[in-house]
Amino acid sequence: MRLAEERERLCETGRRMVETGLVLGTSGNISVRQGDLLAVSPGGVALDRLTPAGCPVLDMSGNVVDGDRGPSSEVPMHLAIYASTGASAIVHTHSRYAVVVSATMTELPPIHYNALLLGGLIRVAPYATYGTPELAAHVRTALEGKQAALMENHGAVAIGGDLESALESARLLEWLCEVYVQAKMIGEPRVLTEEELVAVIERAARGWSAPGP
Ligand SMILES: [Zn+2]
């Protein structure tokens, strides 16, 4: 079986996505790249019911080279992201707060410095029908310089060097959306300034050090 290890990891990641409440039913899809091949979740199967043999392997043009099930309808988006980023894994969800923010805002401003782990401000890719090249192009643009993006009236996408980091980014984005929505309920959230964000980056670059005199 080609990409046996990657397909096994897809199944594990799918289970964790359902367990952690990131996806419901057959919504959401995931893929992992190895060289010039990628393993992707199949269409129409709940992510906690994936099997390695049921996850098709595609070449970078989208042709199925192994597996007997059809790939997720969102493959054009996955291919566009791999073609334009250094990502090796992609997690796409319809997680609740990501959908709430994507349906009401054009961007998610950073109100917590952990947003820097995803690139700071998160863009919302304009709406287009799922599975279309238009949607793929919008998402690719929204991801420029970022580890995640929101998709208008649709959901979220996160990328990473492996499935684990892409999943962590998807969970962090969902947390940031939830925090924003809840902050908005009791007032106008204060957005971190450019200066404050730069100070966080500089602090992180210094690492741990004993307090000075
Ligand atoms: Zn979707």
Q: In the prediction, which pLDDT does 97 show?
A: 98
Q: What confidence tens digit (pLDDT) does each residue in 97-107 have?
A: 999 999 999 99
Q: pLDDT tens digit string along 99-156?
A: 999 999 999 999 999 999 999 999 999 999 999 999 999 999 999 999 999 999 999 9
Give the pLDDT confidence of 3-13 residue by residue, as tens digits: 999 999 999 99
pLDDT digits (tens, 9 = 90+) for 60-80: 999 999 998 999 999 999 999
CA 74 to centroid of ligand 1, rounded, Å? 7
Q: 153 φ, ψ to 5°?
A: 50, 35
Q: What is the pTM of this model?
A: 0.95
Its CATH class, for the domain covering 4-205, is alpha beta
- Gap from CA of 68 to ligand 1 centroid (Å): 22
Domain spans in the chain, listed from the N-terminal domain onward = 4-205
pLDDT at 211: 60
Q: Rounded to the nearest whole angstrom, what is the distance from the C-alpha of residue 155 to the centroid of ligand 1?
A: 6
What is the structure's pLDDT at 207? 83
pLDDT band at residue 25, thresholds of 50, 70 and 90?
confident
Reply yes or no on whether 74 is catalytic. Answer: yes
Give distance in angstroms: CA of 42 to centre of ligand 1: 13
